[in-house]
Amino acid sequence: MAIAGAVARRSATSRLVEAYGQEFVVLGAIIALFVIVGAVNARFLNDNNLVNIFSGNAYIAVAAIGMSLVIISGHIDVSVGSLIGVLATIAGTLAVQGYPVWIAWSVPVLVGIVINALVGALIAYFRIPSIVVTLGMLSILKGGLISYTGGTWITNMPPAFFIAQARLFGIPAPVYFMVALTILMALWMRYASLGRSIYAVGGNVEAARASGLYPERICVLAFALHGFFAGIAALLFATQLQVIQSTVPPNLELTVITAAVIGGVSILGGTGTVIGSTLAAILFACISSALVFLNVSAYWLRAVLGLLILATVLADMARRRRHRAGGRL
């Protein structure tokens, strides 16, 4: 009995590793980073820094959830950084002009949903490749934003607006958003038939169509959800500081895409989880903070991220090759 139980448990563990291999790798990397950097410089582990790591980067993790949906469905969005900038500006402008806070919060989320649903519709019904549509959106949004704001920063928002600065039990609100949305979407992707359909369409659109799904509608849905998450990310970004910069962090879209890919989302569509993308976003935040504490120039961050992408893809390919060789029955 005991032996049988052990065997069963081991196979359950190995199943878990097989299904969530990439997620475990990223989680292991985060833990290793905390242990090593904490040993070198104990201040890395103090409260302030942990808040910085988790809370200051939660908006990237939230945006990466939506990006994962889009990539799993077989598409890509290179405009999300500009979209977040536009939505943050909308939120700030509404707040400054004296609209109630709930309007300043909800309008950008709705606008995000509508814009990306339109993007999804262009891709699905006019059969324009997503890279083309979203490259266009990137320019439209970025250009529009700079023209409208003239590069100035938005200040003087009412105090109630700053949702990202709120705390509950000492933990900042963005962390709650990140954790709750990740868990919710992980469950939805796994247990809802629509979530399942996104994987099917991304894995093989013709088989999905022949099975009675509507790939066009699912594409629009994935982009609309992505717009929702971009809206939430924009709120967290807009309310974490006292000012809203009209220039979002450069290359934000690339950081978000990288998080999804390092988290195990196949760039070809069909596989991956949002747990992985959130963990990967946290890993980035850890790395950039660790570089500071190890007195390494922050300019190395992008180089490190690049190495990480290549290492991830190589590890992924090695794992697949092993499966193909050993797993065939």
Partner 1 sequence: MTSLIELNGISKSFASVRVLQDISFDVRAGEVHALLGENGAGKSTLIKIMGGVHRADTGEMHVNGNAVHFTSPRAAAANGIAVVHQELLLFPDLSVAENIFMGHAPRTGWGALDWPQMRRRSRELLDRLQSHHIDVDARVGSLSVANRQRVEIARALSQDARVLIMDEPTASLVEEDVQQLLSIVRMLRDKGVGIVYVSHKLPEIFALADRVTVLRDGARVGTAPIGELDERKLVSMMVGRPIDQLFPKQETKIGAPLLEVRNLSFGAVVRDVSLTLHAGEILGIAGLIGSGRTELALTIFGITPATSGNILVDGKAARIGSPQQARDFGIAYVPEDRGLQGLVRSQSIQENISLTVLKTLATGPLIDHRKEEKLARDSIARFGIRARGPRQIVRQLSGGNQQKVVLAKWLATEPRILIMDEPTRGIDVGAKSEIHALMSALAARGLGILMISSELPEVLGMSDRVLVMKNGTLVGEFDRTHATAEAVGAAMTLANHSGEAA
Q: Minimum distance between the CB of residue 200 and partner 1, rounded to whole angstroms?
A: 5
Query: By CB neighbour count within 10 A (0-12 exposed, 13-18 middle, 19+ buried), where does 34 fall?
Result: middle
Asked if 92 contacts 154 with a C-beta cutoff of 8 angstroms, the reply is yes
The CB-based long-range contact list for 90-98 (8 Å cut-off, 24+ gap) reads 91/161, 91/234, 91/235, 91/238, 91/239, 91/244, 92/154, 92/157, 92/161, 92/238, 92/244, 93/154, 95/157, 95/158, 95/161, 96/154, 96/156, 96/157
Q: How far is the CB of 293 from partner 1 (least distance, A)?
A: 39
When the beta carbons of 53 and 76 are compared against partner 1, the nearer one is 76
Cβ partners under 8 Å of residue 51, min gap 6: 172
What is the closest distance, in whole angstroms, from the C-beta atom of residue 3 to partner 1 in the complex? Answer: 20
CA distance 313 to 321: 12
Q: For residues 90 and 107, is the Cβ–Cβ distance under 8 A?
A: yes
**Cβ 189 to partner 1 shortest distance, Å:** 11
Which chain residues interact with partner 1 by CB under 8 A?
15, 19, 191-194, 196-197, 199-200, 203-204, 206-214, 266, 270-271, 323-324, 327-329
| Residue in the structure block whose two tokens are 């092993």 | 322
Smallest CA-to-CA distance from 69 within 268, 265, 309 is with 265
CB of 21 to partner 1, least distance (A): 12
CB of residue 327 to partner 1, shortest distance in Å = 4
